[in-house]
Amino acid sequence: MSGKVFLVGAGPGDPGLLTVRAAELIATADLVAIDALVSKEIAERVPPGTEVIHVGKRSSAHTLPQDEINALLVEEAKKGRRVVRLKGGDPFVFGRGGEEAEEIAAAGIAFEVVPGISSSIAGPAYAGIPVTHRSHATSLTLVTGHESEESTGINWPVLAKLGGTVVFMMGFANLPLIVRKLTEFGMSPQKPIAVISKATTREQRTVTGTLADIEAKIAAANLPTPALIVVGDVVKEHEIINWFETRPLFGRRVVVTRAREQASDLKRLLEESGAQVLQFPTIEIAPPDSWDSVDAVIDKLAGYQWLIFTSTNGVKGFFERLHLKGKDARALAGCRIAAVGDTTAADLESRGIAADLVPPKFQSTALLPLLEADQKGIRTAVVRAAEGREELIEELRRRGGTVDLAVAYQTKAADYDIEELRQLIAAGSIDAVTFTSASTVDHFFSKLTAEERARVNGQAVLASIGPTTTEAVRRYGKSPDVEAKSASVQALHDAVVERVAAVAK
């Protein structure tokens, strides 16, 4: 039985621009034949176990010739496999998708074309350049920039007089030729032009000028490929609506050390502010070795005056166990509830429980001034990690109270490839590191050499979510540069933005 080939556009680089259909096909493919221009973040969506063949297709550096790619797609589909041909941009916009579709059709193989967002449109948009604008351009012309001096493929006399917006794709190496031909055939040397490097990625750079001075500006800027060229009066809009490159963390690399399953909100906030985020999950959250302590608390909830949750992980583990035992939030009706941190309180609220007490600092001992000085006759259960600190429990007992510990989870060192982080530290390319708990601090620095620790302390903004985390950072030779005003990922993000913006000034 024959399989099927899917010619899929991966978009221009930003993984957020991948279409829903493309994501579905990547997740269900038997084989993915992938271009070099497909971003790393999108390539990482290919599930483990799926065969991946890198076919190159970067300018002047093809891993496989086009005829061999065509043959590969046909042969693999004939084996009954679902084959995804994953291309940067759109398959039919200078992507040779038409040639591949012809070969597949000729072989009698079923196929589907999934359009992708072309860099010819997305690149200018991310540079704040609308390719059409009522005041500047009512037409758009796309041109391949591969043409050589002798080529007759481009009708330069017509193109130079066409007006509107002209986008040259894959033409960076031929910029001098493009400039010369356009001006030779009548385009004004003062015509605005922009060169956009690594469009839609967090390494994007845009250089604008005129046909008369763009070559000198590009030589000074040392732009890397891939890059596209936009010619036309719409380039004037770059200075007005340049939304992407002006974000507060644009071009900055931020390391997120939180457990991968918890990092998504912080990663999203940082990326929306323009940061390039490296996830380095130093810890992973795991169930406790035994649920006995949690079960014991649940079984005698009616006997507690206070139930204290020190983290969202504690809330999650406790309530999962509560539900497993056939109970729900009503079982807590007789207890007063304390939550350490705004995020912990919000998690409880999402489960229908309003915390009676939330300390001003993300620190369990910050509860002590708010609790009764005389704890005689008061029974308290503290829900936390196996590795939690003992000061709160010890002080409540010293005051005469009865305190039971419910271990709802534990943290373990995550198994993570550290090589990319080491390379960035060596290159001085880390701008900030975020820490959301003392355990993330300890596991992060324990993986580094003494020299690497010193480099991080010297080059990066260290950002802490609260006092306990701050104390942990200090043990490694430097106080955090910034501490969040409240124990939430939003506040941590805001603190990073404020600090990095201040450094930039």
Q: What are the catalytic residues?
A: 35, 57
| Measured CA angle at 438 (ends 434, 442), to 5 deg | 85
- The contacts of residue 305 (CB under 8 Å, 6+ apart) are 335, 336, 378, 379, 380
- Give 188's contacts (C-beta < 8 A, 6+ positions apart): 211
CB-facing half-sphere around the CA of 190: CA atoms within 13 A? 0
Residue (of 492, 432, 489, 437) closest to 467 by Cα position: 437
Under DSSP, is residue 222 helix (H, G, I), strand (E, B) or coil?
coil
Strands 253-256 vs 432-435: parallel, antiparallel or unpaired: parallel
Residue 85, phi-psi category: left (phi > 0), alpha (psi -120 to 50), beta (remainder): beta
User: Residue 10: which residues within 8 A CB-CB, separation 6 or more?
Assistant: 18, 22, 35, 38, 39, 42, 86, 87, 88, 89, 116
Would you call 501 helix, strand, or coil by DSSP?
helix
* Cα–Cα distance list, 429 to 202, 293, 432 (Å): 13, 45, 9
> Residue ranges of the alpha helices (H) in 89-194?
97-106, 119-126, 156-161, 175-184
End-to-end, the C-alpha distance of the chain in Å comes to: 64
Between helix 438-446 and helix 467-474 the angle, nearest 10°, is 20
Question: Amino acid letter at 175?
Answer: L
The pair of three-digit structure tokens given for residue 398, joined into one six-digit string: 């010293």
3-state helix, strand, coil in the chain (%, to 5): 40, 20, 40
Question: What is the pairing mode between strands 192-197 and 227-231?
Answer: antiparallel
The side-by-side arrangement of strands in the sheet containing 192-197 is 140-144, 165-169, 227-231, 192-197, 205-210
Q: Which of 16, 43, 41 is nearest to 32 (CA)?
A: 43
Residue the block writes with tokens 């709802």: 408
The CB density around residue 452, as the number of other CB atoms within 10 Å, is 16
